[in-house]
Structure 1
């Protein structure tokens, strides 16, 4: 099981590496970036609605409520801390490397890994579909991260940083699988509910916010629904 999970984690790792390479060579323009971020947000929302939430409700709804509440508290605490770091750097005139964004992305990737491990512990199909969602997520989150540090750090750092952070996903996935391999349905429900919040936070507070800042277009907005539809079709084909 662990070797299988490790193999699947290489997919989002490769996506993160690809994103850094693209940004290092030539980052996409604002409108294309907006459309791609909408698409990624649609995939992430679909993974939450189709895989995580049903798996949670089938096991222990009340534990899921607690896990969801914990996820809200943790994710918005991270947001608050990251915002304070960036404000402090701005006040000191240190407007170069976005340390807060890098730290938040690393934490997000680690949490994603734990959720992936929990997904495989729940059902192999859930793990496979979450892998697809993470690959799309890492491609566009990594692209945004690399684009934000381009010009402030060496090119090789711009290219490799998303992949380096994605290594945290491998550790999180293997750790999650070990710790949750024999977990009760209630505990799995709580972890998956926490993961649902992490996924939705990423889509609403990062991908869609950045997409709207890049430039809102009707074509870009359609990308959200196309992403949701693509994941839905993949879910039906794999099942």
Structure 2
């Protein structure tokens, strides 16, 4: 479900915004920078000791942090455009945040972290949402358009990586059932309907 929710956020929120900006070079720079960053992180993580690999998945955490940062950014921009729009965006993104939080806690617990530590790491990563909101309300509102476009391109690639290399792969490592596959589409549909009703 988390995979479907994140994929929907990319398809419905970030991609249309990037297309509307008509800025291919900043988009490509941000996108490529994200891919290279995450591949480099994945490579360094694979070289770690077995104890390090079994504890904190750095690439996974990084991708989720970027997702939450972008969500906060979108919420901040929404509030800068009006309280009602900000509230509607917050409501639409709540399902995504819940699904991602549950997926992250489950992944950390599977890697041997106690429930307290898993919740602590998840809470720490969640702080990026607040940072993203502050950026959306303040800094990026006055930043040059190319910088915002590059940031969105970076975020889009990071979220696609999160879905394809982490969430979906993790889902298929357990018993693959029709219900597992269906939850991806349920997550996507939930965000699609929320987006339709909050515009």
Normalised by the length of structure 1, the TM-score is: 0.69
Superposed, 1:168-183 pairs within 5 Å as: 168-175=128-135, 177-183=137-143
Give the secondary structure class of the aligned counterpart of 1:181: helix
Per the alignment, do residues 217 and 225 of structure 1 end up closer, same or farther by CA in structure 2, a change over 3 Å counting?
A: same
* 8 Å contact kept, 2:31–2:154: yes
Query: Which residue of 2 is the match for residue 60 of structure 1?
Result: 22
Q: Is the 8 Å Cα contact of residues 72 and 130 (structure 2) preserved in structure 1?
A: no
CA-to-partner distance for each residue in 1:120-156, whole Å, 9 max, x for gaps? 3544558534454233222212222223224xx5x53
Instruction: Please list the CA deviations of residues 47-69 of structure 1 after superposition, one character each: whole Å capped at 9, or x if unmatched.
Output: 00010000111113312122212
Change (3 A) 1:194 1:148: same
- Asked whether 1:118 is paired with 2:73, we answer yes
Q: Which residue of structure 2 aligns with residue 4 of structure 1?
A: none
State whether structure 2 residue 84 is matched by structure 1 residue 84.
no
- Looking at structure 1, the residues matched to 53 and 12 of structure 2 have their Cα atoms a distance apart, in angstroms, of 39
Does 2:190 match 1:230? yes
Query: Does the 8 Å contact 1:43/1:228 carry over to 2?
Result: yes
* RMSD of aligned Cα (Å): 2.5
Structure 1 unaligned blocks of 5 or more: 1-38
Match of 1:47 in 2: 9
Is 1:73 aligned to residue 73 of structure 2?
A: no
Match of 2:171 in 1: 211
Unpaired runs of at least 5, structure 2: 80-84
- Select 2:146's aligned residue among 179, 186, 190: 186
Q: Would you identify which runs of 4 or more consecutive aligned residues in structure 1 move more than 4 Å?
A: 124-127
Paired with 2:138 and 2:105, the residues of 1 have a C-alpha distance of 27
The aligned counterpart of 2:180 is 220
Q: Residue 113 of structure 1 contacts residue 176 of structure 1 at CA under 8 Å; is this kept in 2?
A: no
Q: Deviations over 1:168-188 (max 9, x none)?
A: 443354346433121233322
State the TM-score, normalizing by the size of structure 2.
0.81
In 2: Cα distance, 1:42 partner to 1:118 partner: 21
| Structure 1 residue 116 displacement after superposition | 2.6
- C-alpha offsets along residues 1-20 of structure 1, whole Å, 9 cap, x if unaligned? xxxxxxxxxxxxxxxxxxxx
